[in-house]
Amino acid sequence: MPTALQDPETRIRNRHVDFQVNDRAAQILRFRSQIITRIREYLQAKGYLEVQTPIMANLAGGAVARPFQTHAVEFPDRHIELRTAPELWLKRLVLGGFERIFEIGPNFRNEGIDKIHNPEFTTCEFYIAYANLDHLTQVTERLISELVTYTNQLSHKQLPSLSTCDISIDKPFAQVDFIGGLQSLMNAEFPDLKSPDAEAGVIQMFHNNGIPLPESATLPKLLDRLASKYLEPLCQKPTWITNHPECLAPLSKSFIDSDTKQRVSARAELFIGGKEVVNTYEEENSPFEQRRKFEEQVKYRNDDNRADIDEGYLEALEWGLPPTGGWGCGIDRLVMLLSGTDRINDVLPFGNLRNVVSLGRGGRNVVASQ
């Protein structure tokens, strides 16, 4: 048995050894389990019912993302997609009378791999009838504060290899308006983002500021790129980005913002350390408005956005979804944040998809580091 493993690739491809010789690697895995348990207990204590919804269906649904596709022996002529989010299933359950529900489970997006992204990832989503954004942000701030305190208790007692979590938990968390914040930082005003020439106007803003255009420069991707360049780096302490343009949240309610006069979504996105941690929404419950938003989403369809109109979900909405608040959190990224870990590999038992696929080809020889 080696006394230590140092090389990151050797460690991730020999996790059975890594966990035995590196206390911190093993303690992060135990920590992940404790955080998931804590979130589950927090929600169950408030009357939420835990459910499991389908992972495979004819449409992935619930997120603008490229899905994985497969086939089933039972339906050889049909494509089946792995879910990108459980959202539409969970809202169907709210329609069925379950007013407080949650799910902790895997999702799949056929997209790139980097330090903070993996095609297979775990989320917690909960939905609560008759809740608005104010309620959701207050719940989030209490939960994050409790998790930070809990992390520090664990690091002092059970898991000493973990660093102390120094996230500021002063409430209320700061807020920045998506459009207002960008206009102030860029010293420019957005065109009417619902107008036919909105995309061309935003592209001109890129040119004026010398910003390279993203691939497949649709209006949602352009706006998201500006937020990642200007707004997200400012969110080192816990900060809510609010009032996203409607096209960035097609499943949420929307309204005309009184300050910017733009049509924006009822959405608040929490960033800590410059990274997204939580998304909250007031869910769209009008089948007519949801159809309009689905149709607009389809206009931006490309390889990265396989948007489609989910007729089954629209039919379900006709039964009357109550005003509903939705909440989503990436568990992997939350564990990274609380444990002070920089790479998503370190909070997954066997690393990212690239590591998992490589395991079958044989790993490097394990060399003891003296």
Summarised one tens digit per residue, pLDDT across range 327-337 is: 999 999 999 99
Supply the mean pLDDT for the chain. Answer: 91
Mean pLDDT of all residues in 12-29: 86
Summarised one tens digit per residue, pLDDT across range 203-240 is: 999 999 999 999 888 999 999 999 999 999 999 999 99
Of 325, 305, 231, nearest in space to 270 by CA:
231
Please determine, for residue 189, whether its predicted confidence score (pLDDT) is greater than 60.
yes
DSSP 316-366: HHTTTPPSEEEEEEEHHHHHHHHHT---GGGGSTT-SHHHHHHHTT--PPP
pLDDT of residue 305: 63
pTM of the complete model beyond 0.85:
yes
User: Which of the four pLDDT bands, split at 50, 70 and 90, describes residue 366?
Assistant: very low
Q: What is the 3-state secondary structure (H, E, C) of 194-239?
A: CCCCHHHHHHHHHHHCCCCCCCCCCHHHHHHHHHHHHHHHHCCCCE
Please determine, for residue 103, whether its predicted confidence score (pLDDT) is greater than 60.
yes
Summarised one tens digit per residue, pLDDT across range 248-292 is: 999 999 999 999 999 999 999 999 999 999 999 999 999 999 999
Tokens in use for 281?
């929404």
Q: Which residues make beta-bridge pairs with 121?
A: 107
Summarised one tens digit per residue, pLDDT across range 329-363 is: 999 999 999 999 999 999 999 989 988 888 766 54
DSSP 288-310: HHHHHHHHHHHHT-SSS------
Task: Say which residue, 169 or 281, is predicted with more confidence.
Answer: 281
Of 106, 121, 100, 129, nearest in space to 42 by CA:
100
CB burial of 238-257 (b: ≥16 within 10 Å; e: otherwise) equals bbbbbbbbbbbbbbbbbeeb
Instruction: Give the whole-angstrom CA distance, residue 152 versus residue 144.
Output: 13
